[in-house]
A and B are shown apart, each in its own frame.
Chain A
């Protein structure tokens, strides 16, 4: 892999790099946002039941539960 020394690049080199990069990006195959949104929804819904921060966790199952203190009745 050729090693580029960024400090040696001239403004023209950078401008050329940018144009080359943009030419690459313009050709990207893009999905419709509706398809992406459906996939995201499905992905999230599939995992949400196992997501502790969403569903919460009972004290006895919580590895981070605060140590029991004294309870004065």
Chain B
């Protein structure tokens, strides 16, 4: 037996062991555990503001931690920082490359970042001395598109890329501190834990991985351990995984929904899960009961991004129709 064949067999064996270990811990489903809880009442959010100004599809948005400002990225080649309450544009930043796929607001509010088909993550200083917003750093090393980026602080940012890796950067020196390798497909998104110790990456290899930022290691992998012959890739559903049980707890799906999910955001308490879909709507799910409790209809094209502000007061949706909407 060749070495590759041997390694493949070993991998399959280990995957089967993990599947069995997970099953052994499965003494209930979330649906059973939440049986005594009533479904949350119908959620009817209204569009409170429409942020108009982009001239092309919006691909990403991110709230500032102040719950007032937010940044959006559009393929019109601009990053716009909005005051979501007044709808004023605080900054309109022209980008070198218009093929932007992601944007992020630093927790401090001092910096924003973006990137896309230029394979770079560009950092902009919003609080420069002369009031002009300039590129502060261009983080270049990825050999594939930049799909997502999230700041840990003003000095560190994590990026995910079509080159199948995620990277922790030192913004000051513009260098890679850690490369998180292991995904076997394009990394498409990432989310950082509230304590900034971990992040989760989602990739086109159909898995999500939990990474320890300081150790540089992958702790857990979700979604990819099933035997390939039994995987059904249905793109119109969302799943909730628990890190401690190391498995899926519940799936959010409805037979009437037949299109892909583009973006997700939980409400402040986690009771609601807001998901943007290709059919131009946002569906609101009761997280515990896996029932649809509301719909946000108002965009004229795909909802590409969604975010709930840190104080939970509002949800922002961005769309290919070039508008952002604030709902509550």
Contacts of B8 in A (CB 8 A): 15
With A33-B26, A37-B249, A64-B313 as contacts: A6 and B181 at CB distance below 8 Å:
yes
Is B271 an interface position by the 8 A CB rule? yes
Contacts of B68 in A (CB 8 A): 63
Contacts of A15 in B (CB 8 A): 4, 7-8, 11
CB < 8 Å neighbour of A36 from B10, B242, B313: B242
A3 touches B179 (CB 8 A): yes
A25 touches B267 (CB 8 A): no
Is B130 an interface position by the 8 A CB rule? no
> A19-34: contact bitstring with B at CB < 8 Å (1 yes, 0 no)?
1011111101011111
- Nearest CB of chain A from residue B306's CB, rounded to whole Å: 12
Contacts of B164 in A (CB 8 A): 6
Interface residues of B in 210-262 (CB under 8 A from A): 216-221, 242, 244-247, 249
B18 touches A25 (CB 8 A): yes
With A41-B37, A62-B48 as contacts: A34 and B28 at CB distance below 8 Å:
yes
- By the criterion of a CB under 8 Å from any partner CB, how many residues of chain A are at the interface? 49
- Nearest CB of chain A from residue B269's CB, rounded to whole Å: 3
B11 touches A19 (CB 8 A): yes
- 18 example contacts (A-B, Cβ-Cβ < 8 A) are as follows A1-B178, A4-B181, A11-B4, A16-B7, A18-B7, A19-B7, A24-B217, A30-B22, A33-B29, A35-B244, A35-B245, A36-B242, A36-B244, A37-B34, A40-B249, A44-B288, A52-B314, A53-B315
Interface residue ranges, A against B (CB under 8 Å): 1, 3-4, 6-7, 9, 11-12, 14-19, 21-26, 28, 30-41, 43-44, 46-48, 50-54, 57, 62-66
Known: A6-B164, A30-B244, A34-B28. 14 other contacts (CB 8 A): A3-B179, A11-B4, A12-B3, A16-B7, A18-B184, A28-B220, A30-B25, A31-B242, A40-B270, A50-B268, A53-B272, A53-B274, A64-B84, A66-B48
Nearest first, the 8 closest Cβ-Cβ pairs linking A and B are A47-B269, A37-B33, A22-B14, A64-B48, A51-B269, A15-B7, A31-B244, A36-B242
